[in-house]
């Protein structure tokens, strides 16, 4: 790496003169300035952005718009990832302000998103779980020239700096493949959306599409009937009635794919009613899911690496804002298949 010292020696001037030319401060004779710049070009000098940033007193304020982990425990992991990245980047002046909203309240999201706009931050990271409502804010932030990164939910039409997360469609394909291997035909397999507004959840729609397409593309659609059920909030009495209704209407039910982190809600009833023969696949390493994975009620979990989603989202924003690096429009995280046999290797991830 070329240093200011090297340029000074070749140009036969002091380091202070080189520094004044590079940073356009102080007075330098025109012929000396041109000579130094010529040497800089010849030597392919690139400034040390990290050193420059450490000397700067600039603060970069980022806002994280994230669902409340106290309402849905899944969101604790990305929150922790954001906090770890902030701690690592604090030496470069990075500060992250967290705005927390209720993941089951559109009004809560709208209020916090409006607050983001009023803060005029240097960058934004968010989980856009309310697809329709977030679109107007994308336009607003774009007009304000505020870069934003999406995690958990990919919205292709959004002009975001980057998306961090899984390929939802491929994760649906993977879930179908896992069920297909373990279930003999004929069989009914259920796509279960638990406690979600499916019409406003783009990533869940993509998961279901991938799941269904697997059976079509593998000439298995005739032997496997794919059905769908959007279940009410598990706290509602109607939840258990919906489970019985599905089982009654589909006596050949042999597999369930839960499209979010709530596989444990269905696992409870599979165990309670002795339906352990129904294979169950879901997402995420929540303690409740891990309990049923250990018991064999949940057969597989697909790890969406929510910690990494938050962590890499802040890293992408910081690389772009501070170190002037181009951000990758999409950073897909691996689709890890978790079983009780390999679980211990993921518990610290």
pLDDT of 348 reads 64
- Please tell me whether residue 50 adopts helix, strand or coil conformation: helix
CA distance 329 to 343: 31
E strand or H helix that includes residue 37: helix 30-42
pLDDT in tens, the chain (349 residues): 667 778 888 888 887 788 778 767 667 888 888 898 888 888 877 666 666 666 567 899 999 999 999 999 999 999 999 999 999 999 899 999 999 999 999 999 999 999 999 999 999 999 999 999 999 999 999 999 999 999 999 998 899 999 999 999 999 999 999 999 989 889 999 999 999 988 888 899 999 999 999 999 999 999 999 999 999 999 999 999 999 999 999 999 999 999 999 999 999 999 999 998 999 999 999 999 999 999 999 999 999 999 999 999 999 999 999 988 888 899 999 999 999 999 988 886 4
E strand or H helix that includes residue 189: strand 187-194
List all residues 6 or more positions away from 228 whose beta carbon is below 8 Å from its beta carbon. 190, 191, 192, 193, 208
pLDDT of 25 reads 66
| Helical axes 4-11 vs 15-23, angle rounded to 10° | 110
Report DSSP state, residue 298.
S
Give the end-to-end CA distance of the chain in Å, rounded to a whole number: 35
pLDDT of 21 reads 82
Rounded to a whole number of angstroms, the CA Rg of the chain reads 26
pLDDT of 257 reads 98
| Helical axes 263-272 vs 287-295, angle rounded to 10° | 40
Please answer whether residues 305 and 336 qualify as being in contact, where contact means their C-beta atoms are separated by less than 8 angstroms.
yes
Please tell me the pTM assigned to this model.
0.81
Please answer whether residues 125 and 317 qualify as being in contact, where contact means their C-beta atoms are separated by less than 8 angstroms.
yes
pLDDT of 56 reads 62
CA distance 310 to 81: 5
Expressed in percent and rounded to 5, the helix, strand and coil fractions of the chain are: 50, 20, 35
């Amino acid at each position: 790496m070329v240093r200011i010292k090297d340029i000074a020696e070749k140009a036969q001037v002091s380091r202070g003169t080189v520094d004044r030319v590079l940073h356009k401060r102080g007075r330098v004779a025109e012929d000396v300035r041109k000579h130094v710049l010529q040497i800089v070009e010849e030597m392919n000098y690139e400034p040390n952005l990290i050193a420059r940033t450490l000397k700067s007193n600039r603060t970069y304020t980022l806002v994280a718009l994230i669902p409340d982990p106290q309402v849905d425990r899944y969101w604790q992991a990305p929150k922790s990832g954001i906090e770890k990245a902030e701690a690592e980047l604090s030496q470069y002046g990075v500060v992250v302000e967290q705005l927390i909203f209720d993941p089951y309240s559109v009004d809560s999201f709208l209020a916090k998103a409006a607050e983001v706009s009023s803060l005029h931050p240097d960058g934004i990271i968010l989980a856009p779980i309310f697809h329709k409502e977030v679109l107007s804010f994308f336009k607003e932030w774009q007009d304000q020239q505020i870069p934003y990164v999406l995690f958990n939910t990919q919205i292709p039409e959004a002009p975001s700096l980057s998306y961090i997360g899984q390929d939802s469609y491929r994760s649906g394909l993977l879930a179908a493949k896992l069920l297909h291997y373990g279930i003999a035909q004929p069989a009914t397999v259920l796509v279960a959306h638990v406690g979600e507004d499916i019409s406003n959840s783009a990533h869940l729609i993509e998961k279901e599409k991938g799941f269904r397409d697997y059976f079509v593309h593998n000439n298995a659609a005739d032997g496997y009937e794919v059905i769908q059920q959007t279940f009410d909030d598990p706290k509602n009495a109607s939840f258990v009635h919906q489970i019985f209704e599905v089982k009654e209407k589909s006596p050949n039910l042999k597999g369930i794919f839960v499209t979010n982190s709530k596989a444990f809600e269905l696992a409870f009833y599979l165990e309670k009613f002795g339906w352990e023969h129904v294979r169950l696949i879901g997402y995420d390493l929540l303690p409740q899911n891990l309990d049923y994975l250990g018991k064999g009620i949940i057969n597989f979990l697909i790890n969406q690496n929510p910690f990494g989603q938050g962590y890499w989202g802040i890293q992408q924003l910081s690389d772009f804002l501070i170190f002037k690096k181009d951000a990758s429009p999409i950073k897909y995280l691996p689709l890890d298949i978790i079983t009780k046999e390999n679980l211990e290797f993921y518990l610290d991830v």
